[in-house]
Amino acid sequence: MRDICYKVRSRPVIIHVIERAEDLPKFVEWVKRHQILAFDTETTGLDIYSPGFKVRLAQFGTSDEAYVVPVELGDEFVWHVTSALRFVPKLICHNASFDIQVAAKHLGHDIAELFAKTIDTAILSRLWDSRAFKDGGPGHKLEELTAALVSRQVAEEVKASIGRMAKELRIPKEEFFRTVPISHEGYNLYAGMDVILTSLLYEQIPGMIPFSARHLIPYEHDIARVCSLVERKGFLVDVEYTNALTERLRREETWYQILIEEFTDDYEFSTNSTDEVARVLLDSGWDAFEFTPSGRLKVDDALLNAAADEGIEFAEWVRQAKKAKKWRKTWPEGFLSRMDADCRAHAAIHTMQARTARMSISGIPAQTLPSNDSLIRNCFIADPGHVICSIDYMAQELRVTAALSKDAAMLRAFNEDLDLHQMTADAAGVSRSIGKMTNFLTVYGGTWKALMTQAHIDEVTAKRVLKAFAEQYPGVAKLADEVTKKARRQGYVETMFGRRLYVDRDRAYSAMNYVIQSTSRDITASALLRLDKAGFTPYVKLPIHDEILFSFPEDQAHYGARTAGAIMLHTINGLDVPTDPEVGGRAWGSLYEKAA
């Protein structure tokens, strides 16, 4: 066994690096002496379910001592790590969803059992302060929290050491975790310090969480557990369709590239060169350019769309070529590359990603797929014998707005099933589409400038419409004024769930949107827990903001959708937030084809 000594704020810590099977008994005796240990893993990458993924190290630690176990060396090391995970009464992890899924997939553990005894310091940090480092908060990465709460020097020397070690070993940084020698001193220091630092964070962060939010600690861990189960199950990929779509998009890209090359008489023309695209657009008669900060002509999607709408074919060809390439690489090729051996893609559900705790999804980026489009969604299919079902909340954020503001007109619209968008339009003397735009813009904290741009109306009209909204729904205007003043005065607001949301004082107008978005998130999140309690988690495919996607047995799909929809129903301040269950076919995209 090799020991690595280090200091954290002049306090000595020690990392025991196990090198041989003969070292394992000391590890076992050490584990038996502790009721609580931090746990972490070092792996070859982040895609837990990809065929080439491997666990290299497993670490256990306290605030001053750690053991690093090289599970890569064989079954005996794996067995001791697995036994330790079963034996330790309480675990601390930073980003527990990842390490628990690693332990479940590759070390034979049960996700629910591990979550039942785990505290996640990443979750705790988000309940303390949900702001990312780039937004002025302490951040939530281990390196950021170490710098904020433990030692900036340690954060720089240890947690930021990967680049230096990769350079020393002459390997690309992105290849470091897969190829670094398992005995490398710096690698083992990095690994051992992970659990020591996690233990130190656990000693501090719980007491820093606002009292109003402390009841959310078990709640957020339950949400992480449910979403981890959903991630592990995965979403079945229609490989034949996805391969065909990849080829279709490649052919489209090639076709438009040929048109571009023939038009420009340049058979090496690159659509990625903004200078070249701008030059051809100028030659084609387009001169409505904006400029970049460096003074170059700006070429973006908005410009290409405008030029194409004016009949400039070259702009349309560039737009379509870029779109086909982006769609192919981002979606079908991405899905195929991330499939596991059973042809399932696994999403990574970041349960508290935004400042408002709104979830986000990577791997299967459901929240950023083209709106109302079936083409990409058809890459995913229900389990054998199942069909896809979607249950979404009806006007979730507007109903939350009505319930929180207690505005009489808005409550009457929902209680009597009136057309809220038409009501707004009539009050302002504009079309229903602009009325709808105004309703959502208000929820999202938009100004008259945003309405003017989105609705293509002049400044006078935009200001008149927003004034009419405020007069039609005075309770909403009053709520917005109250939360804005509170945010400006104290720098944060709190939701009815007790969640504290920090607001930049110079953007205090965002407070209304934060409260509505966060409350809406918790309506969906709490529904996931009720569904889990009722046994529906094995059927959940993805939570997508105000929607939950399911795969139900075909012969029970309508019953399953109705039952799940009833479970998801939420009442806030006496106002129902109802659901709209929809049953589709085998492919996810079938829901959008039906709507069309």
What are the residues facing 5 on neighbouring strands?
A: 14
End-to-end Cα spacing for the chain: 65
3-state secondary structure of 508: helix
* CB 176 within 8 Å of CB 162: yes
Residue in the block written with tokens 């020591």 = 196
Give the pLDDT band (50/70/90) at residue 159. confident
* Both tokens assigned to 241: 């369709």
Looking at residue 238, its pLDDT comes to 98
Amino acid at residue number 489: R
DSSP 371-410: TT--TTGGGEEPPTTEEEEEEEETTHHHHHHHHHHT-HHH
The CA distance from 494 to 538, in Å, is 33
Structural domains in the chain plus CATH codes: 2-209 (3.30.420.10), 239-336 (1.20.1060.10), 341-394+519-595 (3.30.70.370), 397-497 (1.10.150.20)
Neighbouring C-alpha atoms within 13 Å toward the C-beta of 161: 20
Residue in the block written with tokens 């349960």 = 351
Nearest CA to 436 out of 415, 459, 458, 413 is that of 413
What is the pLDDT averaged over residues 372-385? 95
Nearest CA to 137 out of 360, 397, 435, 352 is that of 352
CB atoms within 10 A of CB 291: 9
Residue 586 is classified by DSSP as S
Residue in the block written with tokens 């479940």 = 104
* C-alpha distances out from residue 329 to 237, 335, 574, Å: 16, 9, 47
* CB 238 within 8 Å of CB 376: no
The CA distance from 298 to 284, in Å, is 16
The CA distance from 153 to 362, in Å, is 32
The CA distance from 339 to 46, in Å, is 13
Looking at residue 370, its pLDDT comes to 85
What is the pLDDT averaged over residues 548-568? 98
Q: Which helix (H) or strand (E) holds 550?
A: strand 547-553
Give the pLDDT band (50/70/90) at residue 39. very high
Looking at residue 448, its pLDDT comes to 87
Taking only the tens place, the pLDDT of each residue in 271-320 is 999 999 999 999 999 989 989 898 899 999 989 999 999 999 999 999 99
* Both tokens assigned to 5: 């000594």
Contacts of 510 (CB under 8 A, 6+ apart): 445, 487, 503, 504
Q: Which helix (H) or strand (E) holds 421?
A: helix 420-428
Q: Where are the alpha helices (DSSP H) in 19-91?
A: 24-32, 75-87
Taking only the tens place, the pLDDT of each residue in 199-250 is 999 999 999 999 999 999 999 999 999 999 999 999 999 999 999 999 999 9
Q: Which helix (H) or strand (E) holds 428?
A: helix 420-428
* CB 364 within 8 Å of CB 532: no
Rounded to a whole number of angstroms, the CA Rg of the chain reads 27
Give the pLDDT band (50/70/90) at residue 347. very high
Looking at residue 594, its pLDDT comes to 60
Mean pLDDT in the chain?
95
